[in-house]
Amino acid sequence: MECHVGVIAGDGIGPEIVAEARKVLNKIGEKYGHTFRYEDILMGGCSIDATGVPLTDEAIAAAKAADAVLMGSIGGNTTTSPWYKLAPELRPEAGLLKLRKSLNLFANLRPAYLYEELKEACPLRGDIIGDGFDMMIMRELTGGLYFGARETKEVDGVLTAVDTLTYNEKEIRRIAKRGFDIAMKRKKKVTSVDKANVLDSSRLWRKIVEEVAKDYPQVVLEHMLVDNCAMQLVKDPGQFDVILTENMFGDILSDEASMVTGSIGMLSSASLNDTKFGLYEPSGGSAPDIAGKGIANPIATILSAAMMLRYTFDLDKEADAVEQAVRQVLRGGYRTIDIMPQEEEKRLTVKQVGTREMGDLICANI
């Protein structure tokens, strides 16, 4: 198979971690007879430096023309980087939001699970972890507060800011369907998260999700208020299978869920539209403090590439091979600094490696 992959290396640790994911894809190509053709696309701070804007029309066109886009991370230190002195619509993050909207990437899949091999990195007590957890956060990605009208103006001499939270039934229905489809391939449980005790948009969300649920009689649906969900994620994470939620709640809950696994450097994500196209990126940020040091964990990006093989190219066997290789390397005791055990004696049982070495080890296990 010939795969045309747009590559947004981005800022901070982005270029380093993306390089390892490309290495892994090339290894897959060699072993299974596929060709990966890469096309570099500028987005984020590096695009601002080169073009003055975080995402050009040419970059959008290049992303659209690719089968899928693999992304590292964008953005810098928000207090010290000059990018954050620019108007909000010219900052690195605006590029990402524009790309999501332009490509209609409404379905954001963020798996969060506990690696057996990394149990000691989980900040929760053993009795809470129990047999571990494995959830998929399905976040609506092109609506809600992120894309509603906003302005800051003086009202009767008082500076006032407005952000608008809008959802229509079509937007809710399409993400809900995706959530139920994914649940059908998992443990068949959907927890729809909203704030229906306060917000109209959440009441509509609940109504439409219930309508969609009628087409999926095998899936158990429950509703949960977002504040309670934030609590349940640290109280009993094992209760969740698919968490289905709107854009802003999903942003917050997915960070919480990934931190609970203790290994944000391990978690992948996919942003999908109605076609086979997808934007694949690690859940973690650009970590400017460790950029260029060769110590960043490339596993989340490598696992994002595995999601790309699975969702865009339907190469399940190849995706399994990547995931299996990651587990193998962890089982072999190799760790990047972020997933090193805290306790001194446990550190002696594993070996710390850098970004490149981790990529090489994963390739060697494919």
Task: Tell me the catalytic residues.
Answer: 146, 195, 227, 251, 255
Stretch that binds ligand IPM, among 92-100, 204-212, 287-295, 328-336 (CB under 6 A): 92-100
194 binds, options Mg ion, ligand IPM, none, Cβ within 5 to 8 A by partner type: none
The DSSP letter of residue 117 is G
Amino acid, single-letter form, for residue 18: V
**CB 333, min distance to ligand IPM, A:** 31
Q: Which is nearer to Mg ion, 165 or 350 (CB)?
A: 165
Stretch that binds Mg ion, among 155-163, 247-255, 257-265, 297-305 (CB under 5 A): 247-255
**CB 194, min distance to Mg ion, A:** 19
**CB 11, min distance to ligand IPM, A:** 11
What CA–CA distance (Å, rounded) separates 92 from 75? 5
What CA–CA distance (Å, rounded) separates 55 from 57? 7
Footprint of ligand IPM on 99-158 (CB under 6 A): none
Q: Which is nearer to ligand IPM, 144 or 237 (CB)?
A: 144
Q: Does 251 bind Mg ion (CB under 5 A)?
A: yes
Q: Does 251 bind ligand IPM (CB under 6 A)?
A: yes
Q: Which is nearer to Mg ion, 194 or 251 (CB)?
A: 251
**CB 154, min distance to ligand IPM, A:** 27
Asked if 351 contacts 334 with a C-beta cutoff of 8 angstroms, the reply is yes
What CA–CA distance (Å, rounded) separates 309 from 316? 7
Q: Does 140 bind Mg ion (CB under 5 A)?
A: no
The CB-nearest residue to ligand IPM is: 93
Stretch that binds ligand IPM, among 37-45, 58-66, 90-98, 128-136 (CB under 6 A): 90-98
User: Phi, psi at residue 262, to the nearest 5°?
Assistant: 80, 5
Buried b (16+ CB within 10 A) or exposed e, 208-235: bbeebbeebeebebebbbbeebbebbee
Q: How many residues bind Mg ion (CB under 5 A)?
A: 1
**CB 1, min distance to ligand IPM, A:** 29
Q: Which is nearer to Mg ion, 72 or 359 (CB)?
A: 72
Q: Which is nearer to Mg ion, 192 or 269 (CB)?
A: 269
Provide the strand spans (E) within the chain.
Answer: 2-10, 35-40, 68-73, 107-113, 134-140, 150-155, 158-163, 189-194, 220-225, 242-245, 268-272, 278-282, 334-335, 351-352
Q: Which value, in Å, is the radius of gyration of the alpha carbons in the chain?
A: 20
What CA–CA distance (Å, rounded) separates 276 from 266? 24
Q: How many residues bind ligand IPM (CB under 6 A)?
A: 4
**CB 143, min distance to Mg ion, A:** 16
> Angle CA(272)–CA(278)–CA(282) in degrees, nearest 5?
95
Q: State the CB neighbour count (10 A cutoff) for residue 61.
A: 11
Question: Of the candidates 96, 99, 209, 295, which one interacts with ligand IPM according to CB under 6 A?
Answer: 96
Q: Whose CA is closest to 245, among 81, 109, 62?
A: 109
Question: Of the candidates 86, 93, 323, 324, which one interacts with ligand IPM according to CB under 6 A?
Answer: 93
What CA–CA distance (Å, rounded) separates 257 from 34? 34
Q: Which residues make up the interface to Mg ion (CB under 5 A)? A: 251
Q: Which residues make up the interface to ligand IPM (CB under 6 A)? A: 93, 96-97, 251
